[in-house]
Amino acid sequence: MRRRLRLLLAATAVAALPLGTAAAEPAAVRVIAQNLAYTWGVGFLPDGSALVTERNSARVLSIKGTAVSTAATIPGVRPGGEGGLLGIAVSPNYASDGWIFVYYTSASDNRIARFKLGQAPQPIVTGIPKANIHNGGRLAFGPDGHLYAGTGDAANTANSQNPNSLGGKILRMTLDGKPAPGNPSGTLVYTLGHRNVQGLAWDSRGRMFASELGQNRQDELNQIVAGSNYGWPTCEGRCNDTRFRNPLLTWTTAEASPSGIAVYNNNVYVTALRGQRLWKVPLTDSGVGNPTALYQGTYGRLRDAAVAPDRTLWVLTSNGPSGVAGGDKVLSTDG
């Protein structure tokens, strides 16, 4: 299904940035799958097919072309509030090891497990704090071949600055869940001082970016540097405290409430939940340029973005089965 959609001009909350720039009409959007419920994350297999998680059903869906089936149902998932079956990542060595990684909420914690299709998952990281809100959940493999995870503070702000807590952090690990070589403190913790990280991506230069949900004022797009402290709960958005690293870009929570992100054609695409739009943020040598808003209100809440093997941009919605006509959808665009 193809539709032509207008590009809408939007403003950001960063005083140093002007209003969002105008751009040509974006490419047509294709509906890959619909009538889903609370899609959360997507990963791709070497054959080009996709694996998509549903938060509440604990299902991992297989999408081949436009055919949708259940590839796995993860046992032990306890959905509730923002928790459930969340992120997914496919091993960069999948052709030889067959590993798929998922992040999910259990009865006692958030955890990361790995599994092979047709086999039971094996937890590799446990003890990530859980709550009804702020469970984080994004998984992504970096260009270094290590697995990264974004976690939330689990509604306890003290977790974010506590180096012994896995909450409010970005974690970096080996494929068996051990601290990756070179981690700043020798633990799983790669960066700290986060509120709720739900987007992770890298550009062609190896720069790492993460989206973070703010509380009442400012959501963030950050450049991630090993060992850095991003300030929560002392700072929401930018602040004049040299202990903390400031974000590249902020929005009001009404404009964004960001989740998954993807780097595509030298732009960071940031999905917005409350903002119900897709932010296109140009990358520059020194950081980012002026953002523009795409598809504002057209598809409701947007949860994840990812670059598919065919070099199209996939976007997942998060409205629930009755939130919009056709339920939740997997969309594809040429950007």
- Range 121-131 average pLDDT: 98
Sheet with strand 169-173: strands edge to edge = 138-141, 147-150, 169-173, 189-192
Q: How many helices (H) and strands (E) would you count in the chain?
A: 2, 25
pLDDT at residue 152 in the model = 98
Q: Which two tokens stand for residue 243?
A: 């202990």
Average pLDDT across the chain, whole number: 92
286-317 per-position pLDDT tens digit:
999 999 999 999 999 999 999 999 999 999 99
State percent of the chain over pLDDT 90. 90
At 2, is the pLDDT very low, low, confident or very high (cuts 50, 70, 90)? very low
CA distance 134 to 153: 6
Nearest to 231 by CA among 223, 217, 241, 218: 241
The domain limits of the chain are: 32-275
pLDDT at residue 323 in the model = 85
CB of 273 closer than 8 Å to CB of 318: yes
Helices marked H in 117-243 — which ranges? 158-161
Beta bridge partners of 113: 102, 123
Q: Write the DSSP string, 134-165.
A: ----EEEE-TTS-EEEE-B-TT-THHHH-TT-
pLDDT at residue 267 in the model = 98
* DSSP-assigned letter for residue 242: T
Q: What's the predicted TM-score (pTM) here?
A: 0.92
Helices marked H in the chain — which ranges? 94-97, 158-161
Q: Which two tokens stand for residue 65?
A: 């072309």
pLDDT at 11 over 80: no
CA distance 125 to 127: 7
Q: Residue 75: CB partners within 8 Å, gap ≥ 6? A: 58, 120, 121
Other beta carbons within 10 Å of 254:
12
Sheet with strand 218-224: strands edge to edge = 197-202, 208-212, 218-224, 249-252
CA distance 46 to 65: 14
Return the CATH fold of 32-275: Neuraminidase (2.120.10)
b/e code 28-43 from CB counts within 10 Å (16+ = b): ebbebbbebbbbbbbb
236-247 per-position pLDDT tens digit:
999 999 999 999
At 4, is the pLDDT very low, low, confident or very high (cuts 50, 70, 90)? very low
* DSSP-assigned letter for residue 319: S
pLDDT at residue 22 in the model = 36
CA distance 207 to 221: 13
Q: Which two tokens stand for residue 213?
A: 């949900």
Nearest to 281 by CA among 12, 47, 91: 12
Other beta carbons within 10 Å of 268:
25
> Number of C-alpha atoms within 13 angstroms, CB side, residue 276?
10
pLDDT at residue 26 in the model = 60
250-279 per-position pLDDT tens digit:
999 999 999 999 999 999 999 999 999 999
